[in-house]
């Protein structure tokens, strides 16, 4: 292991990928922020037994976390990305190494805490996946500020920035609000995908586009979100409160509702050409598609339509394996769209 891979807290390193992705040549550029990344261990068992040993096969070991997964998806869709993330301890060094081996351009901000590991366990007999994620490390306030500075240095005149994933302990609930302000000051727009206190803490500042899954929407609405009508009500609240200019709420296998000042668009998920295996990467794939197409100049509804298709394609891959771009593009015409005016 090189000495550069074991930086002290606050140190920053940039590596991976071919050339500088901020170069104007190539597809749309989207930097991403991951405050609590993971090393994802994907295991497979035949059937989980409650006694004795469960023999597992290691399917993969990959770098993960919301923004890192989004950056990977942006590149898969023909764009360019830089993943800004924290990295600490031995697991943090492994995270950096995995990203560099994969060729993902990234900027790692050193922290004193240990980067976490997560487990995706796929039970083949039941065709069911379990995503087991421990809490991330505790961050000091100065480490959060160093991440903001690192993100700003990667922007390079980009139009959109993605912040995705949970916040580690130690950072204030309004941290993503500070991210939104910094992004706005740099002339870009923030796409946010988070949950819990971090989600509620960002609402006062407002972001360009907020993506919520059903669980996150329920935490905001204080009631069950079952269908498009429920999702539309959550989005209307987000728009009228100034929390987001564009609100996207997903409703499981039904699809998603994309809402703007012009109205609410229901996007019905396409029928799957195979049996669903895991939803572990569906949300990150959707955000990657939305960010890539917005950065390329598409409108919000067109971007979310591709996002729904990518999320569907992600369901066809086990554990956290990336979606098949050809499958996603084939599913895109099958996404049915219905528009309703506001009010």
pLDDT tens per residue, range 314-326: 998 876 778 999 9
pLDDT at 156: 87
CA atoms within 13 A on the CB side of 153: 15
Where do we find the tokens 């050193």?
110
Closest CA to 70 of 110, 45, 102, 104: 104
Cα separation values, 288 from 57, 140, 195, Å: 29, 29, 17
Q: What is the pLDDT of residue 4?
A: 39
pLDDT at 122: 87
In DSSP notation, 286-321 reads HHHHHHHHHHTT--HHHHHHHHHHHHHHHTTSSTTP
**All structural domains of the chain with their residue ranges:** 27-340
Q: Quick one: tokens of 7?
A: 């930086």
CA-to-CA separations, 190 to 1, 159, 307, in angstroms, rounded? 35, 9, 17
Give the CATH H-level superfamily of domain 27-340: Ribokinase (3.40.1190.20)
Q: Give Cα 111 distance to the centre of its chain.
A: 21
pLDDT at residue 278, as a whole number = 75
pLDDT beneath 70, residues of the chain: 1-10, 16-19, 23-25, 319
């Amino acid at each position: 292991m090189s000495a550069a891979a074991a930086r002290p807290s606050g140190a920053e390193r940039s590596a991976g990928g071919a050339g500088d992705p901020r170069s104007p040549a190539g597809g749309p550029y989207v930097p991403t922020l991951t405050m609590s990344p993971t090393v994802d261990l994907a295991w497979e068992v035949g059937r989980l037994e409650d006694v004795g040993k469960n023999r597992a096969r290691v399917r993969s070991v990959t770098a993960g976390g919301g923004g890192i997964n989004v950056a990977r998806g942006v590149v898969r869709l023909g764009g360019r990305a830089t993943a800004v993330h924290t990295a600490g301890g031995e697991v943090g060094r492994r995270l950096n190494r995995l990203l560099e081996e994969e060729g993902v351009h990234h900027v790692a901000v050193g922290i004193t805490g240990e980067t976490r590991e997560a487990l995706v366990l796929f039970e083949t007999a039941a065709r069911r996946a379990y995503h087991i994620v421990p809490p991330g490390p505790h961050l000091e306030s100065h480490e959060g500020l160093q991440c903001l500075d690192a993100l700003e240095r990667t922007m390079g005149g980009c139009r959109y920035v993605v912040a995705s994933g949970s916040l580690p302990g130690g950072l204030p609930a309004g941290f993503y609000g500070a991210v939104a302000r910094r992004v706005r000051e740099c002339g870009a727009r923030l796409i946010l995908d988070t949950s819990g206190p971090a989600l509620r803490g960002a609402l006062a500042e407002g972001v360009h586009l907020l993506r919520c899954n059903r669980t996150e929407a329920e935490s905001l609405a204080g009631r069950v979100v079952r269908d498009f009508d429920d999702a539309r009500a959550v989005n209307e609240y987000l728009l009228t409160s100034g929390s987001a200019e564009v609100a996207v709420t997903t409703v499981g296998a039904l699809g998603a509702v994309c809402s703007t000042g012009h109205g609410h668009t229901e996007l019905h998920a396409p029928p799957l050409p195979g049996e669903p295996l895991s939803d572990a990467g569906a949300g990150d794939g959707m955000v990657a598609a939305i960010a890539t197409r917005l950065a390329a100049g598409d409108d919000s509804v067109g971007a979310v339509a591709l996002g729904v298709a990518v999320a569907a394609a992600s369901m066809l891959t086990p554990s956290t394996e990336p979606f098949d771009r050809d499958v996603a593009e084939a599913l895109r015409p099958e996404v049915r769209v219905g528009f309703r005016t506001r009010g």
